[in-house]
Structure 1
Amino acid sequence: MRTLKPAHSPFLPLCAVLTFMTSLPTSAAPPAPNKKITYNLNLLSGSDEYNNELLYALQAQQLPGTHQIEITLNGTPESSEEIEFVDHAGIVSPCLTPKNFKSWGVNLKTTELAFTPEGCWITDSNTEVQANYIYDTLTLQMLIPKGFMFSAFDKNMQNADPGINAIYTNYRFDASHNRRLGTSAGQGSTLSSNYFMSLNSGLNIGDWRLRNTSYLRSANGEWKSQSAYTYAYTNLPALASRLSLGQINTSSTVFEGHRLYGAELSTDTSLLPPQYKSYTPVLSGLAKTNARVTVAQQGQVIYETYVNAGVFELKGVDSVSSSNFVITVHEQDGSSQEFIVLNTRSSRVISAGHWRYGLAAGYLDSNDEPMMQLSLQYGVFNGLSAYAGTQYLQDYHAILFGQAVTLGPWGEAWMETTSSRSVSPRSTHSGQQARVGYNNNLDVLNTSINLTYEQRMSKDYRSLNQHTHSGYYTFESHRLKDRLQAQVFHRLPGRLGTFSVHQSVEHHWTGLGNKTTQHHTSSLSFGSSIGKLSYSMTYTHNLAQSAKRVKSTDESWLVSLSMPLFERTRLSASRLNDSSTLTLSHQSTDRTSNLYLSSTHYDDGSYRSTEAGADYFGRYGDVRAAIGQSTYGDSIRYGATGGMIVSHHGFVLADRVSESAMLVSVKDVENIAFTNSNTARTNGKGYAVINGLSPYNKNTVTVDTDKMPADVDFPSTKITAVPTRGAIIYKNINAISGAQVLFNLSTRDQRKIPYAAVAYIDDVRTQYMVDDGQTLYMDGLKKGDLNFTVRWGEGHDQQCEVKTNIPAREKDVDVQIMNASCI
């Protein structure tokens, strides 16, 4: 809202409209309406003199020059662009270039459009393509037959931007300092410190991307560093593929992923139609005490954090391979629990007649053995796909065949068999494995189901991971026999809540003949809300049975309640078996910080803990800290997360940098927010990083006008981009920054300045119009001396100059009103 002071001008609405239409930066599009309206100019200016700007205004035409206008394509908003308008024999029309048509998805080979030597579209070269410019709304309406257009997907591929050359990194740092009390009389306390840092970095040069993920860990002074992968890749749109070189994780959807030093050429689903989407599982679990949680893949820790007692959910965990996630909860009492979360693979059913492939070759990271892997998928006909693959090492060979079928609205089922032969110095192992699965999303029933059953026909079957990681995945005398995993999620009608079931049953061969061990895990959860009160219940049951039929069980009940006490203050309570936890939390009004106080105790008094902490989420990342005391000792934790980009535009900090991102520049305008991000705001130089761009899709970034500074305005608040995979796009948003002033003009000889007289500042393209009350609105004015010229003709007596001083903006005053003498 604009506040006027000292009085409201009756001509401000007209003045504002005229200024908006004429003060936009200056470029071309279809012609404006050519019908001329006749006026008696004497009534407006008191003389027969007029100027070209006034004539354009009376004819409802855009002024020549480059202007920011809105584009609609066949009735749908397309973009906001700078278009050049040119004057041809008194008619001003936009100059539309081949580049404009290409960006709108027009196939120039089919339209046979003609262009002038200057590159402007000749409007009558194809009567089927029509353009209409609406002066009142600064909108160019394009009507182009569908036959002249690329498909939406091909249009995005045509306009895909590889981005700028840049370096970026994301970091996460966590540290804890612990004092553990002695467990017996006379035993002193022990001190320990743990540090964990992950760096996810990248370098973009042209179409090539270099990526690295590294970890640095320290436990009690012993530091260890580890590089998960370092590789380069480039997109190959013509093949719908990606070429990767270096220390990579194979991306096959047929086999489990493996780390190797080498090369991989495989189908990139981001270069295929949008129905092929990747899936990332939710990593959640249950902690009995305030615990440290680690996530590993292929025996390598890829994520570490700290959680409070109760159910936890980990966000922002990036998978480094297609292997399953192994989550370990390290409790304060020294015990630990481990469970596996399936890294669900993408759909096995593909379109009829289409291929997907993956070819990888190199040296395995685990033992430096040369290895080759090939996988193929083919859509036999609609709803049925077949796939096959092979893995070959000098002393290991596996071959896989499978098929998948869609069941219409009832989901997807698949079945596959694998045969392997593994040679070791002491023996040779050959065996087979069969796997079947089913998954669906029943929208009608608000239910999703995922089932997987795996059966190994003999003890001698070995997967590649078992062959190369003997001792981690399985022992010689203790191998997986079969595994059943089921996940069901159901949303009840209305707001009654959600229900989920997780089930896992495993049998393992032992060295005692055909006897097996059994591991059984079940989990049932229900959550709902009543008004502002939310609640949930979770039951977990674990059963382990040895080969001698000795059973051990562990079960737990968790009940949680959460309700608001005051505005942005919540009280949460949970009951886990014989322990209770109470948490009080408060979130700031702008949602950038959170404070909490938590207390846990066991009924028998064997364990108590209290923890207080704070989190701050800002434009440059987040920082967190907590201090706690428990029966086992004391602890202090702290950490930080953030990202940064370095390019020829300079060094820009961010809360993070996603795989495909946008570097936005609003030159020298600070604190501009965007609706696409809760935390992104421009820094002192006007830069901000917008994350989460979808590769090969049109992405729109919009300025949040509700959070815009009072002295800033934008000709257009939207920018669009189609990034390639891994691109960092640079986009500039034009901003008008400075004071907004409404001048009441007067002249020394009391001459009347005519309606539509033009005011302009030297070296500034923007022009402003005077209304019929000699009122002039100008924006983007800097504090200090200001000189500008007002002109309504070509003669010296048809112009005057204003010399004034712009004061500092008064608080709560958006538009200042000033008197100015035009001499």
Structure 2
Amino acid sequence: MYGVFALQGSSNATTILRTCVLSSVMSIACEVSAAEDIQFNTDILDLNDRTNIDLSQFSRSGFILPGIYPMQVQINTLVLPEQHIAFYPPDDDPKGSQACLSASLVDQLGLKSNKVTQLAWWKDGECLDIRSLAGMEVNGDLSTSTLYISLPQAYLEYSAQNWDPPSRWDEGVPGLLVDYNLTGQSINQRNTASRTGLTGNGTFGANAGPWRLRADWQGRVEDEATNRGKSLEWSRFYAYRALPSIQSRLTLGQNYLYSDLFDSFRFTGAALNSDDSQLPPNLRGYAPEVVGVAKTNAKVTISQQGRVLYETLVAAGPYRIQDLNDAVSGSLDVRVEEQDGSVNSFRVESSSIPYLTRPGTVRYKLASGRPSGLHDGGQGSLFGAGEFSWGVSNGWSIYGGGISDNNYTALSLGVGRDLLAFGALAFDVSRATTTLQDDTLSGNSYRLSYSKNFEEYDSQVTFAGYRFSEKNYLSMSEYLNARRYGGQLGGSKSLYTATFNKHFRDVGLSAYLTYTDQSFWDRPNSQRWNLSLARFFNMGSVKNMNASLSMFRNQERNQRTGTQSNNTGMFLSLTMPLGRSGTLTTSANSSQNKNTYSARFNDQLDERSNYQLAVSNTSVGGYLSHAADHADLSLSASLQENNHTSLGMSARGGATLTPYGGAAHRSAGTGGTRLMIDTSGVPRVPVRGYGRPTRSNAFGKAVIADVNSYLRTAASVDLESLPANVEATQSVTQLTLTDGAIGYRTLDVIAGHKAMVLLRLSDGSVPPFGGTVKNEKQQETGIVNDGGSVYLSGIRPGEKMVVSWGGAERCTLVVPANLPVDGLASALDLPCQMVIPDNAASASRIRLPNTEITPS
């Protein structure tokens, strides 16, 4: 057996030894009595000393010595975070042991309310009596440090894949955070002034219990030969928290009105909204997306009423931004700044799909406060707003609402119908009455919206809608602008919008179309459409080729100059694989009466880095992105005709500080939900969520920012990239975090040398076969083999380890401060000093992890 253990100990000696010991023990069991006592025939073991064996932990089937143990909890197939589980002798079996399910653990089971009232308890109400839930089974397994709980599914609240009921949600730990998104550009052109600028936005925040405190900022620094300027402004100060009992979110401070009936505007006050993100994924709402084509490496900025929502650098070619928050509503301003200095601006309507609600439920949104501009403070008097949607039956929904202040009132009422195979349809009517300078204006607005997924035709109308407003109908934001600037500023007349997807699987073709047409009563119309066609195909030995065509037209009114701008273009490309992971794309672009022909090569440097090299008839350039542990970085550069040069850089990241430590990290979004992983203080351990891995810092902390709120999140150690002297005994954790939470979990990681060790007691004997060795962190590092040999992992110079058998700590060994330079290629011969109890009474006590109890 010594040879087998030594041969395989290089990978995960603790696991292998544990498996071997358990297998051997089970194979020699020969009799199980009625009391489940197991007797062993040790004569078949190939041991030098068959009398020096400790198999007490295996002598009773499923028996766990009374005490408190850190264990993962698995409910059916769901794994909960590690918790401390107590095992006590039950009243009817003083020699037995039973897991104690505390009230806090029972809350995480997700039981239906009618089952909670049936629960019975034992040990003075401290532990759940599992007999009160027929069919419930609870078993502990020390070999995997897991408590297995089996429950009939009919007892549990509704759950879906990767979604847990509110009883399992985690509010996270207290902490501070700062997130940032910085973009810098430098443009130089012969005979004109050079331009250099730095823009940024981000969030400062603090978490305390269920409350999230946030402060959003945005700023810029511009430097031109004749014009220099800089600004820094706070766009929002606010606090919010989730109210899971009513599936809502409460927000206090500066906010934007998020409404499905009325337009959005900024205000200071309070809002209580039904939060669709707390629902299962298949019941959640619609999030807007922005699509377009960039002529060069460009900066795309998405804002609403002056507040920057999203900013990023994109490579030349088509782009599609889909990770906007689904709480965003109303009109979005999109600004595309090309590296040749040209700017393209357009507006995207983010109206939601038909307003339908599940049968028997009511969704609502309430808000009250005072309208406030981003730059000039208060704009109006105190207002109140509210809306609701009621699922009357399996097919019908009724919705409506109102908004009012001293001089403005708007009411809306509508009905929605699920047409089943024919999609979903909604129709509503709004009436607004406005008083401006002793002049009263009244008008109606009518809206029709439709959504349908045609599965049999592989096509989907994501959203299609039409709205018509009478001339005297003013929205709340139009009313506020009229009060500020004076006069009536031209309300919206009509708005058409549609998004359509279609797959032609027989020919491998997919189509995507968006269309928006908006007209006004006293200013030019605006129109925008984008059509994308793509087809994958093979040509001879070249596989997975792709041909795509994008056509677009933007007709917009410039918000600054008031002039009308038209931009029509077309982008045609052919992409083919080149090399092991690269792609070569040739394209033709026609926009603003200019034709460009280019070739681009994209490839990965590694899992974290991507690059693009581009050449065209007017320029050469490159684009590089890198996912560092502390930030997402990108760099773009180009040289164009007429000695026009440009350089762009961006960095997106953040830092999080908790009572358990802090770390800098990448940031998926500003102020969002994140998870801090503690790798037991071991640095450079690669951990990952759903994206690229990140490594723990010098203090053993790493933050994963790609975490979805109210969805079950898994974080794990990347075992394939572990350093040679690091071993993960617990590599995966799961949890569900509320919006904006800072989660905290510890993964059991052992760092240090690995070697075969020969243990000797002070009297010359050796610890018995089956004894366990633990380090100072109570991590099991080895199991004693024949003759006192044990393959230890996580050996650190000068560290003290404890050897246990017979249910108690028996001796301690100290690792030499100066380890051999040869990397512990030879076995270490270490003395193990017997543990001397402080008094006679303590000799009868058993020390277990994190507790001390007296056996019955």
TM-score by length of 2: 0.81
- Partner of residue 85 from structure 2, selected from 83, 86, 103: 83
Q: Which amino acid aligns with 1:641?
A: R
Corresponding residue of 1:226: 233
Give the stretch that moved more between structures: 109-118 or 350-359.
109-118
* Mapping 1:319-338, distance limit 5 Å: 321-331=328-338, 336-338=343-345
Change (3 A) 1:359 1:436: same
Corresponding residue of 2:75: 73
Corresponding residue of 1:250: 257
CA distance in 1, matches of 2:713, 2:447: 40
Change (3 A) 1:715 1:335: closer
- Partner of residue 388 from structure 2, selected from 376, 400, 410: 376
Change (3 A) 1:98 1:359: closer
Whether the 8 Å CA contact 1:296–1:327 is kept in 2: the answer is: yes
CA distance in 2, matches of 1:331, 1:762: 58
Q: Which amino acid aligns with 1:588?
A: L
- Partner of residue 735 from structure 1, selected from 724, 749, 753: 749
Corresponding residue of 2:441: 429
Change (3 A) 1:377 1:754: closer
Change (3 A) 1:362 1:818: same
Corresponding residue of 1:615: 625
Deviation digits for residues 374-404 of structure 1 (CA, Å, limit 9, x no counterpart) = 2122122222111112221333222211111
- Partner of residue 164 from structure 1, selected from 158, 166, 173: 173
Corresponding residue of 2:207: 204
Change (3 A) 1:754 1:639: closer
Shift of 1:788: 6.2
Give the stretch that moved more between structures: 116-125 or 99-108.
116-125
CA distance in 1, matches of 2:120, 2:825: 49
Shift of 1:764: 5.1
Corresponding residue of 1:415: 427
Q: CA RMSD in A?
A: 4.2
Count of matched residue pairs: 784
- Partner of residue 687 from structure 1, selected from 697, 701, 710: 701
Shift of 1:256: 2.0
CA distance in 2, matches of 1:580, 1:407: 48
Corresponding residue of 2:244: 237
Shift of 1:472: 11
Q: Which amino acid aligns with 1:97?
A: S
Shift of 1:110: 3.5
Q: Which amino acid aligns with 1:579?
A: T
* Mapping 1:97-246, distance limit 5 Å: 97-106=102-111, 109-117=116-124, 119-120=126-127, 128-133=135-140, 140-146=147-153, 148-152=155-159, 156-182=165-191, 189-220=192-223, 221-246=228-253
Shift of 1:431: 1.9
Corresponding residue of 2:376: none
CA distance in 1, matches of 2:620, 2:77: 60
Corresponding residue of 2:653: 642
Whether the 8 Å CA contact 2:365–2:388 is kept in 1: the answer is: yes
Whether the 8 Å CA contact 2:21–2:770 is kept in 1: the answer is: no
CA distance in 2, matches of 1:674, 1:477: 54
Change (3 A) 1:563 1:645: same
- Partner of residue 634 from structure 2, selected from 624, 628, 637: 624
Whether the 8 Å CA contact 1:174–1:637 is kept in 2: the answer is: yes
Change (3 A) 1:809 1:264: farther
Corresponding residue of 1:588: 605
Give yes or no for the alignment of 1:559 onto 2:572. yes
SS of aligned partner of 1:722: strand
Change (3 A) 1:429 1:219: farther
CA distance in 2, matches of 1:801, 1:329: 66
- Partner of residue 355 from structure 2, selected from 335, 348, 366: 348
Shift of 1:817: 5.4
Whether the 8 Å CA contact 1:68–1:81 is kept in 2: the answer is: yes
Shift of 1:7: 6.8
- Partner of residue 827 from structure 2, selected from 812, 818, 821: 818
Give the stretch that moved more between structures: 735-744 or 127-136.
127-136
Change (3 A) 1:422 1:162: same
Corresponding residue of 1:723: 737
Corresponding residue of 2:785: 771
CA distance in 2, matches of 1:75, 1:614: 42
Give the stretch that moved more between structures: 798-807 or 570-579.
798-807
Shift of 1:315: 6.0
CA distance in 2, matches of 1:137, 1:787: 21
Corresponding residue of 2:399: 387
Shift of 1:5: 12
Corresponding residue of 1:605: none
Change (3 A) 1:17 1:393: same
Give yes or no for the alignment of 1:36 onto 2:37. yes
SS of aligned partner of 1:699: strand
Whether the 8 Å CA contact 2:14–2:780 is kept in 1: the answer is: no
Deviation digits for residues 707-734 of structure 1 (CA, Å, limit 9, x no counterpart) = 2333333333222323233221222222
* Mapping 1:516-595, distance limit 5 Å: 519-530=526-537, 531-541=543-553, 555-577=568-590, 578-589=595-606, 591-595=607-611
- Partner of residue 291 from structure 2, selected from 271, 284, 288: 284
Give the stretch that moved more between structures: 371-380 or 334-343.
334-343
Shift of 1:225: 2.7
Deviation digits for residues 427-458 of structure 1 (CA, Å, limit 9, x no counterpart) = 54322221111112333433221454434353
Whether the 8 Å CA contact 1:360–1:372 is kept in 2: the answer is: yes
Deviation digits for residues 294-315 of structure 1 (CA, Å, limit 9, x no counterpart) = 3221244444444454323346
Whether the 8 Å CA contact 2:8–2:16 is kept in 1: the answer is: no
CA distance in 2, matches of 1:484, 1:419: 20
Shift of 1:489: 0.7
Corresponding residue of 1:514: none
Whether the 8 Å CA contact 1:156–1:698 is kept in 2: the answer is: no
Shift of 1:173: 0.8
Q: Which amino acid aligns with 2:330?
A: S
Change (3 A) 1:161 1:778: same
Deviation digits for residues 76-110 of structure 1 (CA, Å, limit 9, x no counterpart) = 66666553445675545434433333322346744
CA distance in 2, matches of 1:743, 1:85: 33
SS of aligned partner of 2:170: coil
CA distance in 2, matches of 1:282, 1:55: 63
Whether the 8 Å CA contact 1:168–1:202 is kept in 2: the answer is: yes
Shift of 1:140: 4.3
Whether the 8 Å CA contact 1:171–1:200 is kept in 2: the answer is: yes
The alignment-based identity, stated in percent, is: 21
Corresponding residue of 2:408: 396
Whether the 8 Å CA contact 1:759–1:768 is kept in 2: the answer is: yes
